[in-house]
Chains A and B, each alone.
Chain A
Amino acid sequence: MLGEDRSREAAIEFVGVRKRFGAIVAVDGVSLTIARCELVTFLGPSGCGKTTCLRLIAGLELPSDGVMRIAGHDVSKDPASARNVGMVFQSYALFPHISVLDNVAYAPIIRGMKKAEARERARHSRSGRAGRAR
């Protein structure tokens, strides 16, 4: 791997990905390659499968057919918790029962950081500073 030009490596790859919800086909055979550091916009009318594509990448849905790769690994059957993909939800999905600081510190704690250290780092992050901890 070392010495290779990582910027050309495909970060996300769809090969004939299809997603069905019962009789409805939400994503019908999408094949696309997104390179590392490439910025991609999905544009289309409502109900055309934009969100489903994002949810497939995040692992919140698993494809009915086809193969999905992230950084070269086949993740077609991996759950969201095993993928290391971030997603901003339409409803933000911030946890209303904990403080802003704990919202920021949540992910590092899940990933195994000590609670005190995660909170300390969250305090110095931009989002942690912006929100006043309760």
Chain B
Amino acid sequence: MFTDQILVVIDDPAGGHKLGRGPLGDCNDDRFVSGQLAPCTAEQSCKSPRCRTVSLLLLGLTLLAFWLQHRWLGRASYVTVTGKSDAGLHPPVPAIIRWAAILAVVPFALFTVGVYSIVVAGGFVHDIGRWDLTPSTAYLWTAFSFEVTAEGLRLFGSAWNSMITTLWVSAISAPLIMAVGILAAWLIARQDFVGRRAFEFGTMLSFAIPGTVVGVSYIAAFNVPPVDITGTMAILVICFVFRNLPVGMRAGLAALAQIDRSMEEASQTMGAGGARTLRDVVLPLIRPAIFTALVYAFVTAMTAVSAVIFLVSARYNMATAYIMGRVENGEYALAIAYAAALMIVMIICVMLIQLGVGRRRPGRRIALQTHS
């Protein structure tokens, strides 16, 4: 049932650009794909013995992954960014590996493009399921109709509320996840303090629990005073921040592992304190990780299904919950139109983040290599 979900969260020291993978035991999209519910999804009580067993099992797997990672990657060095003037060109990739990579990547890319095209196309035709390809914006209009009146812009579409909430939640939680995650990574990788390993492990725990369990727990915990925030936007933001923090942190740790520590030490001997060194030396060098953390956090907040099912309310609905509601009502066309709009919005947001964060320029060698 969940073999496909057992993905080990290993630092990827070479790939600062990689996006994180789904956490262990998140039900996310299984429900539409398999037509069945994952062990711990919306309608099943998370207090059932079966569900508890599954949660424990998933937790055990996470512990195992954490242990394996420390065994494998613990003492090795992955420094690629040093202060040396020239690290030389990399040897070219052998032809056989190049072709193997192409063979693996191209079909996957085609499949992905295919899925995305169907959704985008589906949003702008009458009924893609019955191959009725008459161009139509009726569903899109139902979801996102608006009117410009004398008093300004008025939004009538039924999807505006959830779309705006989703954008707000994503825009608030993504920078928080990035900032706290990178800072935590820096503390773990570069500072020495008592309980460092426990701190690192503790941050992983929120990632190990199935999303639906997180959702139910949040409701149980924050439904009574003094912290009565069920049904607010705050609970959505808090949920995403804590849940996705490990991704920001792992991206930061992977990036920091690549950076020669002597550059930070050099900065210190020149009189710069920790904060100054972080700002002037470390952060510019780990830009790819900042980008990864921001994009992952943003995209996850926009697409997550599991925990938010419990946390949304009539006032603060999220895009995914809205889409699921439409599917349950049999309004597939409206759901697909919304999904198309969501994808376009997301692509624009990711491009804006890329524009804002910028690229790392660790010397001229890379420029020479790509231009030759």
A positions within 8 Å CB-CB of B: 58-60, 79-87, 89-98, 106-107, 110-111, 134
A106/B83 contact (C-beta < 8 A), A89-B262, A93-B262, A97-B361 known: no
B164 at the interface (CB under 8 A from A): no
Which chain B residues border A110 with CB–CB below 8 Å? 267, 270-272, 276
Which chain B residues border A84 with CB–CB below 8 Å? 271
Q: How far is the CB of B341 from chain A (nearest CB, A)?
A: 38
Q: How far is the CB of B219 from chain A (nearest CB, A)?
A: 45
Which chain A residues border B284 with CB–CB below 8 Å? 97-98
Q: Which of B83, B268, B270 contacts A96 (CB 8 A)?
A: B83
Q: Which residue of B lies closest to A102 (CB)?
A: B280
Q: How far is the CB of A5 from chain B (nearest CB, A)?
A: 29
Task: Find residues 251-289 in chain B having any chain A CB closer than 8 Å to their own CB.
Answer: 260, 262-263, 265-273, 276, 280-281, 284-285
Q: CA–CA, A96 to B271, complex, Å?
A: 19
Q: How far is the CB of B86 from chain A (nearest CB, A)?
A: 10
Which chain B residues border A82 with CB–CB below 8 Å? 271
Q: CA–CA, A83 to B364, complex, Å?
A: 33
B positions within 8 Å CB-CB of A: 81-85, 260, 262-263, 265-273, 276, 280-281, 284-285, 360-364
Which chain A residues border B260 with CB–CB below 8 Å? 91, 93
Q: Which 7 A-B pairs have the closest CB atoms?
A: A93-B83, A93-B266, A80-B268, A107-B270, A93-B262, A96-B362, A94-B83
User: Are A95 and B268 in contact (CB-based, < 8 A)?
Assistant: no
Given contacts A59-B269, A80-B268, A97-B285, 6 further A-B contacts (CB under 8 A): A60-B268, A84-B271, A87-B265, A94-B83, A107-B271, A110-B271
User: Are B81 and A96 in contact (CB-based, < 8 A)?
Assistant: yes
User: Are B265 and A93 in contact (CB-based, < 8 A)?
Assistant: yes
Q: Which residue of B lies closest to A108 (CB)?
A: B270
Q: Which residue of A lies closest to B281 (CB)?
A: A95
Q: CA–CA, A36 to B259, complex, Å?
A: 35
User: Are B269 and A91 in contact (CB-based, < 8 A)?
Assistant: no
Q: How far is the CB of B121 from chain A (nearest CB, A)?
A: 43
Which chain B residues border A93 with CB–CB below 8 Å? 82-83, 260, 262-263, 265-266
Q: Which of A58, A83, A92, A97 contacts B85 (CB 8 A)?
A: A92
User: Are A80 and B83 in contact (CB-based, < 8 A)?
Assistant: no
Q: Which residue of B lies closest to A88 (CB)?
A: B266
Which chain A residues border B84 with CB–CB below 8 Å? 91-92, 94
Q: Which of B269, B272, B276, B364 contacts A87 (CB 8 A)?
A: B269
Which chain B residues border A87 with CB–CB below 8 Å? 265-266, 269
Which chain A residues border B269 with CB–CB below 8 Å? 58-60, 80-81, 83, 85-87
Q: CA–CA, A97 to B365, complex, Å?
A: 12
Which chain A residues border B267 with CB–CB below 8 Å? 95, 106, 110
Q: CA–CA, A97 to B272, complex, Å?
A: 17
